[in-house]
Amino acid sequence: MRNYLHIVAAVIFLGAAAYLVCLFVQVERSPETASVCRMEVDDSVEAVGRVQCDAEYITASFETVYFTVSEGQWVSGGKLVALGDASFENLVTAPCAGYFTRTLGADAPENAVGRIVSGGWRFSAKLKNAGEYRVGQRLYLTVFDKYPAYIEKIDNNTVTVRCKTGLDAVLEADKLRVTLSTAELEGLRVPQRALHSDDEGSFVYVLKADKPERTPVEVIFNKNGLCLVKGDGLFENMKVLVG
The domain total for the chain is 4
Q: Is residue 17 in a domain?
A: yes
Q: Is residue 147 in a domain?
A: yes
Burial of 33 (0-12, 13-18, 19+ CB in 10 A): middle
Final residue belonging to a domain, choices 181, 205, 232: 181
Q: Is residue 36 in a domain?
A: no
Final residue belonging to a domain, choices 91, 118, 145: 118
- Answering whether pTM is above 0.75, one says no
Q: Which domain does 162 fall in, by range?
A: 44-51+120-181
101-149 pLDDT, tens digit each: 988 877 889 999 999 988 889 999 999 888 888 899 889 999 888 899 9
**CA dist 135 → 52, 146, 148, 159, 163 (Å):** 18, 20, 15, 9, 14
pLDDT tier at 222, thresholds 50, 70, 90: confident
173-218 pLDDT, tens digit each: 888 999 998 766 789 999 988 999 999 999 999 999 888 999 999 9
Enumerate residues 6+ apart whose C-beta is below 8 A from 93: 78, 79, 80, 81
- Smallest CA-to-CA distance from 101 within 55, 164, 150, 142 is with 55
Final residue belonging to a domain, choices 151, 181, 211: 181
Q: Is residue 38 in a domain?
A: no
Q: Is the pLDDT of residue 66 over 70?
A: yes
Q: Quote the Cα angle for 202-205-207, to 5°.
A: 155
Examine the domain organization and report whether 106 and 131 are in the same domain.
no
Examine the domain organization and report whether 164 and 200 are in the same domain.
no
Examine the domain organization and report whether 214 and 225 are in the same domain.
yes
**Per DSSP, what are the bridge partners of residue 114?**
58
